[in-house]
Amino acid sequence: MTTTRQLFSIPLRPAIGDRFQPTGFPSLGAATFDRPTSDGGWERCLLVESEQSMANRLEATMWDQAGRCPIPLIDRLPHIEIVDENGDFLTSSRLEAHRIASAYVREGRIGEETAVRIINDRLGLDSDRQRAPFEIADGLFSLDPLVLIHGVFLSQKDFPGQPKVPRAVTAFIEAHDVREAYGGGVKKDSVFTGHDEGRSSSEGYGMVPFDRVEWTAREIVLNVDLDLDQMSGYGLTAPATRLLSDLARLELRYLVDGGLRLRTACDLVVTDDVVDHEGVALPATQELEDRVGDAIAEIDPLPDGGLTVTWTSKKKQK
């Protein structure tokens, strides 16, 4: 039977202590849910990190934050860089939530042309017929290959047909059989400890106690779904297809080896070897780096450099 997906359920634990702080949502707080147990009951669970956040964290493993550029291993692969009118770096398709569909790309220019027109030309978007992922895969690869791993939705009307490529890698972290851990602290003011008009907590003065809810769990699991069928379905060359799948695995390897310090009070580490549901181990870092490097060397011709888009704020345009 041909393997179409590679699935991982990777056990985690807090790096120190037992408490951790999950992701939170403004109108919801911590995202709890119930799941059925093998004895016919239910247990309370918690979303620790969402799919969208994990996609950002996986992508970040391929980016040099201090240098504001891709890591050396993949610096030959194209991506879109966004600069201001002085040529200073602003952001890139590797950092933006919507990648090449970012507002900074849509409203930017490349020389005298709009970035949107050049992207539409690369992708062959010239009518309202929606293109399937395999029809625009070559064009997306020439703009930023990582888009074919982490997905993109060209949802604005600027892009004819508004094509969509779903994520080929889905990851999230859950905690099972959870309990609240209540705590708190106090914001200390060593100068002014009383109350006065214009000098209250709303202005940042005084001693301000606060409460906080953290959590404990019987188990914490990083779940990863690597859709190999989707990546092979793009119809790219064999080296390009291998590059995508091994880049996805390398991102995961970098992430679990580097530690999952998601927040100040949420630092998680892997507790066991990383193997998929079939018992196949995730290759070591060096092996995956070699495979990625070999695949890049085999791609001929390698797309040249991506695009540099200039974005100007509305104030400066006026």
Question: Which residues are 171's β-sheet partners?
Answer: 224
Q: And the tokens for 263?
A: 């927040």
Q: Would the pLDDT of 1 be above 60?
A: no
Q: Tell me which residue of 252, 258, 213 sits closest to 15, measured CA to CA.
A: 258
In this prediction, residue 315 carries a pLDDT of: 65
Place 316 in a pLDDT band, splitting at 50, 70 and 90: low
DSSP state of 191: S
Distance CA(210)–CA(192), nearest Å, equals 18
In this prediction, residue 205 carries a pLDDT of: 73
Domain encompassing residue 45: 5-317
Residue type, 211: D
* Count of structural domains, the chain: 1
In this prediction, residue 193 carries a pLDDT of: 66
In this prediction, residue 297 carries a pLDDT of: 96
Note the pTM of the prediction, 2 decimals. 0.90
Place 49 in a pLDDT band, splitting at 50, 70 and 90: very high
In this prediction, residue 303 carries a pLDDT of: 86
Q: Would the pLDDT of 106 be above 60?
A: yes
Cβ pair 82, 107 in contact under 8 A:
no
Q: Give the residue-averaged pLDDT of 91-118.
A: 93
Q: Would the pLDDT of 202 be above 90?
A: no
In this prediction, residue 242 carries a pLDDT of: 97
In this prediction, residue 35 carries a pLDDT of: 96
Q: Would the pLDDT of 318 be above 60?
A: no
pLDDT digits (tens, 9 = 90+) for 208-236: 777 789 999 999 999 999 999 999 999 99
Q: And the tokens for 228?
A: 């190999």
In this prediction, residue 89 carries a pLDDT of: 96
Question: Which residues are 260's β-sheet partners?
Answer: 268
- Of 20-34, 68-82, 109-123, 276-290, give the lowest mean pLDDT range: 20-34
Residue % of the chain over a pLDDT of 90: 81
In this prediction, residue 195 carries a pLDDT of: 64
Q: Give the residue-averaged pLDDT of 47-68.
A: 96
pLDDT digits (tens, 9 = 90+) for 298-314: 998 888 878 999 999 86
Place 206 in a pLDDT band, splitting at 50, 70 and 90: confident
Q: And the tokens for 274?
A: 């990383």
Cβ neighbours, 10 Å, residue 102: 22
In this prediction, residue 305 carries a pLDDT of: 74
In this prediction, residue 211 carries a pLDDT of: 78
Q: Would the pLDDT of 239 be above 80?
A: yes
Q: Would the pLDDT of 144 be above 90?
A: yes
